[in-house]
Structure 1
Amino acid sequence: MEIRDSLLDRIAEAEKEGWLGEIEGLHVSLADAESRIDQIDSAPGSVAINLGMSRKAPAHPAQKEGAGSLRQSRDDQQ
């Protein structure tokens, strides 16, 4: 969707500036982007699926484990 909006903005700018060749190329790109969006929207199973994943932070963050591993490797070097 952002690509389509960007192309529309660029087409408006090209029309304002009179860049005829640019306008034609942007319209081709816009048609292709809209075609791809339509394909994605019409694809079977293209609805969002809730995977049931929790948004809560883990009880034991990985950073604590990593810090201990870093200390251990420093001790090993000495």
Structure 2
Amino acid sequence: MPRLEEIHDNLLDRLKEAKDQGWLGEVASIETSVAAAEDKLASMREMAAKHTTTSLGMPNFGPQTGRHSSDR
């Protein structure tokens, strides 16, 4: 994510330069890239904010310890 944030910042700098120079084709291309980077960053932040855990269940050590269930 830090690398994508650097790329996004660089794109914003390039966009400003393209607008200052009047490079309309470049402006349109960079705006597309900026929007894609922002979407990806938002997705990455959303995924990072989720606290997901996976339940692995409890192992059954009964047979190894000689204990048996009475529910036969």
Q: TM-score, normalised by structure 2?
A: 0.60
Alpha-carbon distance in 2 for matches of 1:24, 1:13:
13
- The number of equivalent residue pairs is 45
Gap runs ≥5 in structure 2: 50-72
Q: Any unmatched runs of 5+ in structure 1?
A: 48-78
Percent identical: 40
For the aligned residues, what is the CA RMSD? 0.9
Which consecutive segments of 4 or more residues in structure 1 shift more than 2 A?
none
More contact order relative to length (CA 8 Å, sep ≥ 6): 2
After TM superposition, the score normalised by the length of structure 1 is: 0.56
Deviation of 1:10 (Å): 0.2
Matched, 1:15 2:19: yes
